[in-house]
Structure 1
Amino acid sequence: MALPTRWNPLRQISRFDPLGELEDVFRSLGSRSLPREVENALEMRMDITEDDKAYKVSVDVPGVRKENIDVNVQGNQVLISAEVRREQNKGEERQIYTERYEGRAFRSFSLPAEVDSEAAKAEYDGGVLRLTLPKKPGNGSKRLPIN
């Protein structure tokens, strides 16, 4: 039985890959090498829109339970962290191959204006986290006269 592998067109044309064969050795032993761990890391892709009153953020967080998602808002900074836990194999089964991520992932970003954290809302449905982040009133820029 052949194990599925990801096709990487650049791997074939790379001039110098001293760890390529070493990675194959680790893969044959059933361990995960560091490059494969990074390759399978949870990606939190997002879209941000705004209107006059609020920012709307949609973040893809597939395979995560809502209890394992944490959102912190401070000023104009937003930090999202998610933890993915997988069921452990019990019994006599042993894992041959896996591409599914397990661990903790973080995503942070800054918004142009401060957010009213008291009125902020978060919803999670179908693997998508939706944030409504109202803008704090009186956050416009002010030009200072030079004396």
Structure 2
Amino acid sequence: MAHHLTPFEPFADLIPFDPVRGFDQLLREFGRAGLPKQDIPTIRLDVDETEQAYAVTADMPGMNKEDIQVRIDGNQVVISAERKRDTEQKTGNIVRSERHWGQQYRAFTLQCPVDEAKAEASYENGVLKLTLPKKATAQAHRLDIH
């Protein structure tokens, strides 16, 4: 006759004790609440550097040139844009809407300060191009002691 009973061991669950068991899953679930929605587009950009300037290329499809703002403060660059919703009334029921209406924002810091007076910007076919010349930096000067 086979013995099908399992002896009761009250501490069996504690033998492979892992104090953070399930904690990583909790953090993943908690982190999702604070992350931006994946369907909201962000400003994607490339930054190229030469000895004289930075060249920034930012993808901003569907934006109007008038709705884009670029702010430069020393070595910090802020690109922001706002797409406004049309107030046009449409008949029928919208089944799904994936078009984004709202603000986009991107800020980054460059290694060298930018000469704001010589900076240039252009926007064509959904691509913002910035040419940001570097400010002339003063060379280190050795001070003679008398």
**Could you state the TM-score of these two structures normalised by the residue count of structure 2?**
0.68
Please give the residue correspondences for 1:118-137 in structure 2 after superposition, counting only pairs within 5 Å: 118-137=117-136
Pairs within 5 Å for 1:29-68: 38-68=37-67
Which SS does the other structure have where 1:96 is aligned?
A: coil
Write the distance in 2 (CA, Å) between the matches of 1:70 and 1:109. Answer: 14
* Structure 1, unpaired ranges of 5+: 1-14, 17-33
Alignment-mate amino acid for residue 53 of structure 2: A
Contact 2:42-2:105 at 8 Å conserved across structures: no
Deviations 1:56-76 (A, max 9, x none): 000000111010000000100
Give CA-to-partner distance per residue, 1:99-123, whole Å, 9 cap, x none. 1111001000000000000110000
1:51-94 deviation per Cα after TM superposition (whole angstroms, max 9, x unaligned): 11110000000111010000000100000001112324414233
What is the Cα deviation at residue 38 of structure 1?
1.7
Change in CA separation of 1:139 and 1:41 when aligned onto 2, cut-off 3 Å: farther
- Residue type of the partner of 1:86? R
Query: What CA distance in whole angstroms lies between the structure 1 residues aligned with 2:103 and 2:119?
Result: 24
Matches within 5 A, 1:86-125: 86-125=85-124
Query: Over residues 8-50 of structure 1, what are the superposed CA-to-partner deviations in whole Å (9 max), with x where a residue is unaligned?
Result: xxxxxxx99xxxxxxxxxxxxxxxxx99x82221211100001
Number of residue-to-residue matches in the alignment: 113
CA RMSD of aligned residues (A): 2.6
Which structure would you say has the larger Rg? 2
Identity over aligned pairs, percent: 38
Q: Which residue identity is paired with 2:48?
A: T
TM-score by length of 1: 0.67
